Amino acid sequence: MAEDITTPIGIGVHGARRLPSVDVDTFNIEIKDGDGFLGDRASKRAFQEIIDELRKPLKKSGDDPLGKKRVKDIRKSTFDELLVGDDVAAAALVHGAIEEFAREFAYVIQRFFKNKAWEDTECIVVGGGFRQSRVGELAIARTGLILKAEGLKVDLVPIQYHPDEAGLIGCLHLAPSWIFEGYDSILAVDIGGSNIRCGVVETGWKKSKDLSRASVWQVDLWKHTDDEPTREGAVKRLIKMLQDLIGAAEKEGFRLAPFIGISCPGVINEDGTIEKGAQNLPGNWESSKFNLPALLAEGIPTIGDHDTAVLMHNDGVAQGLSEVPFMQDFDHWGVLTIGTGLGNARFTNRKREARKEKNGKDPKGRTAKE
């Protein structure tokens, strides 16, 4: 299980529990709820099902403001427009769905807090594609109010980076800090159930040593579900995408580190294999004989004059890691990503612990005994 992986700091192993800035207390935990998984109650599909349930009586009377469109074919931006449009019934429908989803999400978070690894969490960052909409922002805010009203003391905040970039930027925090002394960018890969996204990520190290000024310079996106490739075909395409980005970065004059960070669904084993959770990827990625990091290192053996190092971690972890610079007021914090499922990870800040040990006080002025 992910909770049992313990590793030292270094460029070393995949799915590591100890990273340069944080300890990953747990990730990708699956909590059963009745006949299914708890996370299914707070996913993109769950929101769509709530909308459809609210539409049923309206369809019978011919008053459905969404017409005959299937909810999965309606864009997030359309729901955002309905919130502020002149059609009061449509706005009320969306607001009703937000309220119901928020109550479900609050219940899910309360259940997470019954897990020992989550019980002292001070702040939760909410990411995933659902967050990148006004509807998502309102649902997150309403969930936070419900939790406070019910006595759960936790801050709930939307992820700061665009969800499409957060997983790439989070890969910076997989790398040891000495890499940033000699290089200004890395290659990052964000693998999803429908898309594979590769990017050149600028570290912003000279502007801010905590990586809070990091940004994505260039992205290559491939919607693999359109092509339905084999597993081997997907790896071949991924290598070509990375090679093209290397060429573009070199042409632009970037000092690209010989490092590739990978964000991938599932429980990531120390050796780079995937234990479970990769069922939506093309082919069998959970085979003990399939090792994506090794295949990428073989396909791109060097970047510049140095051997290529590759590190892979869970996609929820990677997306959460993008928030490390902004979570320094907390000791323990987590991330929940709302997409096809509910990604999750819980972190403890290591640099705060180091300051506490050195000074005998934490950044809020409390002594170790306090």
Strands (E), the chain: 22-27, 32-33, 36-37, 123-127, 155-158, 185-191, 196-202, 215-222, 256-264, 267-268, 274-276, 302-303, 306-307, 309-314, 332-338, 342-349
- What is the residue extent of each domain of the chain? 32-121+130-153, 176-315
Residue 175 is given by DSSP the state S
pLDDT tens per residue, range 352-369: 554 444 444 444 343 333
| Averaged pLDDT of the chain | 89
Fold classification of 176-315 (topology level):
Nucleotidyltransferase; domain 5 (3.30.420)
pLDDT tens per residue, range 256-290: 999 999 999 999 999 999 998 888 898 999 999 99
Spatial separation of the C-alpha atoms in residues 169 and 323, rounded to whole Å? 9
Q: Is the pLDDT of residue 67 over 50?
A: yes
Residue 236 is given by DSSP the state H
Distances (CA, A) of 334 to 56, 162, 251, 321, 365: 36, 18, 38, 10, 23
**Is 244 in contact with 251 (CB distance < 8 Å)?**
no
The larger pLDDT score, comparing residue 44 to residue 336, is at 336
- Centre a 10 Å sphere on the Cβ of residue 2 and count the other Cβ atoms it contains: 22
pLDDT tens per residue, range 189-240: 999 888 999 999 999 999 999 999 999 999 999 999 889 899 999 999 999 9
37-55 average pLDDT score? 90
Question: What pLDDT band is residue 181 in, cutting at 50, 70 and 90?
Answer: very high
pLDDT (0 to 100) of residue 352:
55
User: Model's pTM, two decimal places?
Assistant: 0.87
Sign of torsion, CA 137 140 146 149? negative
Question: What pLDDT band is residue 22 in, cutting at 50, 70 and 90?
Answer: very high
pLDDT (0 to 100) of residue 274:
95
Tokens standing for 137? 């922002």
Tokens standing for 336? 């929940």
pLDDT (0 to 100) of residue 340:
80
Number of residues that this document lists for the chain: 370
Residue 10 is given by DSSP the state S
- Residue 213, CB half-sphere, CA atoms under 13 Å: how many? 8
